[in-house]
Amino acid sequence: RKLREKGYRIVGTSYGGGDTTKIWFVSPGSALL
């Protein structure tokens, strides 16, 4: 996705499950939680 370009990382296997926003890990400096 485009989020990977911003420095996002996915930790889990729910990619495409719809609840990916809950397992999004942003880089130090941002807070997407």
pLDDT in tens, 1-33: 555 555 555 555 445 555 555 555 555 555 544
Q: What is the per-residue pLDDT for 33?
A: 46
The distance of Cα 17 from the centroid of its chain, to the nearest Å, equals 13
List of E strands, the chain: 9-10, 24-25
Domain span at residue 16 reads 1-32
Looking at residue 8, its amino acid is Y
Name the domain count of the chain. Answer: 1
> Does the pTM of the predicted model rise above 0.85?
no
C-alpha 3/C-alpha 10 separation (Å) is: 10
Query: How many Å from the N-terminal Cα to the C-terminal Cα in the chain?
Result: 18
C-alpha 28/C-alpha 30 separation (Å) is: 6
